[in-house]
Structure 1
Amino acid sequence: MNAMPQGTSASQWFRVIRGGRTPGLRLVCFPHAGGSASFFRSWAQLLPDDVELLAVRYPGREDRIFEPPVEHMEELADSLAEACASLGGGPLAFFGHSMGASVAYEVAARMANAPGTAGPQALFVSGRGGPGKNQSRGLATATDEELVGDLVAMSGTTAQALLNKELRDLLLPAVRADYRLVESYTASVPPPALDIPVYAYYGDADDKLDEDSVLAWSSATRSAFAVRAFPGGHFYLEEQAAPLVADLLARLGTSTSA
């Protein structure tokens, strides 16, 4: 597999967190609402040498902080499908957490419908109900205090950063834009079924999600489907990164790093 193309939409949309020496697989990770590419930084040490780790760089945060955030799923998924297609040959796998799960699914669906485009070989969704099971909570129009309070209640690194007044002023516009995207997004029901395995993860103490909602992801595939719960809340994957990545790699038939 060749290195990620430079000067293309791929270099704009992805951060290479771990470059494989002789990569046989690219794992593309899609962050949660308000999240950024650096959320997956700790995964680098959990992957074997033949897996390259890419994280999506949403506009409006980190090194794209001065770009306007995207507020509509169609625009975001269209751009990312094009960027993924420009990565070149070699197998892909997608992992998305929370909002990122829906984004990853929409990107995979677009790639499946694009002639001559090789989509991911598997889709991993986390902390998100399947199509038709996510109800709007009206947070896009909430006050800053209400929005921050909800995020802090879920925990996560983004929420902790929002407790700092200066960082809050910098980060909150992107968070609010992500909630507009999530709350305006309506998945097709029944959804377009993918011809790849879909694996769903969630935290067993996530009070905004239940197993029935997670099981709805089974309608998004004509291939294998499985669900696994981990100890923890909505951001269970921060503490459960090692067993989560190990499970993901096992399902891909790839060994963990030494």
Structure 2
Amino acid sequence: MGAVHGQGTHAGPEAAWLRPLEARPDATSRLILLPHAGGSAGFFRDWPKALPPDIEAWAVQYPGRERRIKEPAARSLDELARGAADAIVPLLDRPTAVLGHSMGATIGYEVLRLLLADPGHARALVHFFASARQAPHHPRDRQVHLLPEEEFLEVLRRHGGVNAEVLAEPDLRDLFLPIVRADYRLAETHVPTPVSPPLPLDLTVLTGTADPSVEPAAAARWADVTAGSFHHEVLPGDHFFPAAQLPAVASVVTRRLRVSAARPG
């Protein structure tokens, strides 16, 4: 994937990719949030309440969900990364961090590779938060997207975060499962960009104590991805600990982002 260039406004087609969670024109830094497989920008709706006024949060909206429900789903994870990266460029007028949850962390990594291919973006991009995800170069053997329906459902139940009513109601399940399975396919068939050279920014990994999908060793390998500072924060909860532990997660993000933003570029 090549570099993403240019500055602009959110008046063009790229505007569909980003949702401002709460406008904060006086904010001194920005946080870009990327959701998990089957997720949408709505997963982050409560984040503005947990973040201080100096941080403005934007959520990436993938095609095929919420206000983009009529659009065809992406055909590759690279397509998602490219769309998100193009949309983020106009926001790089102040220190910016990227946080991706689960599949969103893989997309976030590729977004940063695209953006940082343009040296002019390096000053603004100060921190990457990888939540509930193994490092991109860590082997991933299981192909969840190929599992029969009941086994696939069991994986989702173990991870948590899926409304039991959705899984119990056939019509809702028939709408939801193909989206999630397709996202798993994108993530599990994706060939990540090499981790060398490392990203020229700080990196924090966030994991849950009861998350069955991310082993400590797999999370620790994110250290290979950064040329900046590296931290691993472990919080109580399952794969969707950011929803249950939002104040604690937001506190970590705020503290780390402020330190990175204050560091001379």
Distance 1:10 1:88, change over 3 A: farther
Give, in whole Å, the separation in 2 of the partners of 1:177 and 1:61: 13
Are the aligned partners of 1:34 and 1:158 in contact in 2 as well (CA < 8 Å)?
no
Mapped pair 1:76 → 2:95: no
Cα deviation, residue 162, structure 1? 3.4
Structure 2 equivalent of residue 100 of structure 1:
104
Structure 2 equivalent of residue 170 of structure 1:
175
Give, in whole Å, the separation in 2 of the partners of 1:116 and 1:247: 27
TM-score, length-scaled by structure 1: 0.90
Cα deviation, residue 177, structure 1? 1.4
Please, which of 8, 14, 17 is the counterpart of residue 13 of structure 1?
17
Cα deviation, residue 88, structure 1? 5.0
Mapped pair 1:55 → 2:50: no
Mapped pair 1:252 → 2:228: no
Distance 1:94 1:160, change over 3 A: farther
Counting aligned pairs with the same residue, the percent is 36
Give, in whole Å, the separation in 2 of the partners of 1:176 and 1:191: 30
Please, which of 188, 195, 200 is the counterpart of residue 195 of structure 1?
200
Q: How many residues align?
A: 251
Cα deviation, residue 27, structure 1? 0.7
Q: Which moved more, 1:69-78 or 1:92-101?
A: 69-78
Deviations 1:143-171 (A, max 9, x none): 33332221122110466533332222222
Give, in whole Å, the separation in 1 of the partners of 2:242 and 2:84: 23
Cα deviation, residue 192, structure 1? 3.7
- The unaligned stretches of length 5 or more in structure 1 are none
- Any idea what SS the aligned residue of 1:248 has? helix
Give, in whole Å, the separation in 1 of the partners of 2:165 and 2:41: 17
Return structure 1 stretches of 4+ with deviation > 6 angstroms. Answer: none
Cα deviation, residue 198, structure 1? 0.6
Cα deviation, residue 142, structure 1? 2.4
- The unaligned stretches of length 5 or more in structure 2 are 1-7, 260-265
TM-score, length-scaled by structure 2: 0.88
Please, which of 104, 110, 114 is the counterpart of residue 110 of structure 1?
114
Q: Which moved more, 1:144-153 or 1:72-81?
A: 144-153
Root mean square deviation, CA, Å: 2.0
Q: Which moved more, 1:87-96 or 1:137-146?
A: 137-146
1:206-225 mapped onto 2 (5 Å cutoff) = 206-225=211-230
Give, in whole Å, the separation in 2 of the partners of 1:98 and 1:89: 27
Give, in whole Å, the separation in 2 of the partners of 1:159 and 1:223: 41
Mapped pair 1:242 → 2:260: no
Q: Which moved more, 1:17-26 or 1:183-192?
A: 183-192
Deviations 1:65-107 (A, max 9, x none): 1212113122111221111113352221100111111111110
Mapped pair 1:152 → 2:157: yes
Q: Which moved more, 1:172-181 or 1:132-141?
A: 132-141
Please, which of 36, 39, 47 is the counterpart of residue 43 of structure 2?
39
Distance 1:193 1:159, change over 3 A: farther
